[in-house]
A and B are shown apart, each in its own frame.
Chain A
Amino acid sequence: MANRFDDQDMRKRVSLYFDKALSKEDERAFLSDKDQDPHFVQLFNKEKTARDFIKNQVKRPSVSPDLIQNIRNICR
């Protein structure tokens, strides 16, 4: 049970870290704790992989030069 709690705590801290929701002090503590625990590092790397994948693979349709020019024309 204690291990599972720690695991849950790690996951929560990893999520808060990537959400940029930790204070500077908490972030320092998080990075220090993470580097001391291989399982923590594993959780961190997997979450990073997942987040990077979503961010990089989501469709980003291009902006046409015409749209930019239309906006410039309207806003002059």
Chain B
Amino acid sequence: MFEKKFCLLSDAPKKTGLEVFESELLPHIDALKTFAFHLSYDDDDANDLVQETYMKAHRFIDKYQEGTNAKAWLFKILKNAYINEYRKKSKRPRRVDFEDIVSYHDSDDSKVPGYLDLREEIFENMMGDEVTIAINALPMDFRTVVLLCDVEGFTYEEISKIIDVPIGTVRSRLFRARNMLKDKLANYANNLGYKDKRGRAKKEEEE
């Protein structure tokens, strides 16, 4: 019975490029559109980026191994297309010099009691727009890692390959990007009338 099944599997016809395209690549179009939108801030530009991504994927379909990580491959193509396109148009992505902000974001909020209480209140009372606005306000390098990890669920290794940086850089960018995101969402929370308990907690501890 096992041998019969094995024979059937090995006799299965290989998918054509078009079949691979339809079954393994096209299903990721929604995720690609979301990523493209948050890179470009524009629906039309996002559509162009997605279309260009699929054109390139189709052109290089022979380089894609059936059954492997299509989503990561497509995201890498899109990320490179975005960089190339927007450099050409002189709409240079707002890049951040990582080292310039190390000192600003070196503080570890997890050391301060009460931090998570603030976050829980934020998420219980906030509309979704604040999340999108906060993410889109991040510098591109940090926005990218948040989108890839927190929105799309890629692992550090996958992100490292998509954006072509070491895994250590992915981790440190994520840490700092999340700190920036927390700050922005905390500002929204303050505007909603919630007090930042982090300062008060620290003061009480010092007393």
User: A residues engaging B (CB < 8 A)?
Assistant: 4, 7-8, 11-12, 19-21, 42-43, 46-47, 49-51, 53-64, 67-68, 70-72, 74-76
Contact = CB atoms under 8 A, between A and B. Distances in A.
30 contacts: A8-B111, A19-B149, A20-B153, A21-B155, A21-B156, A42-B116, A43-B116, A46-B116, A47-B116, A50-B120, A50-B123, A54-B135, A54-B146, A54-B151, A55-B153, A58-B38, A59-B38, A61-B33, A61-B34, A61-B46, A63-B29, A67-B33, A71-B26, A71-B55, A72-B26, A74-B51, A74-B58, A75-B18, A75-B21, A75-B54
B52 to A, nearest CB: 10
Given A55-B150, A76-B18, A50 B156 contact: no
A67 to B, nearest CB: 5
Interface residues of B, number: 42
B131 A61 contact: no
A36 B55 CA distance: 52
Contacts of B156: 19, 21
B191 interface: no
Given A4-B111, A19-B174, A74-B55, A60 B30 contact: yes
A18 to B, nearest CB: 9
A74 to B, nearest CB: 6
Contacts of B29: 63, 67-68, 71
Nearest to A21: B156
B34 A49 contact: no
Interface string B107-121: 010110100100110
Residue among A19, A47, A74 with the highest chain B CB neighbour number at 10 A = A19
B50 interface: yes
A63 B30 contact: yes
A55 B31 CA distance: 12
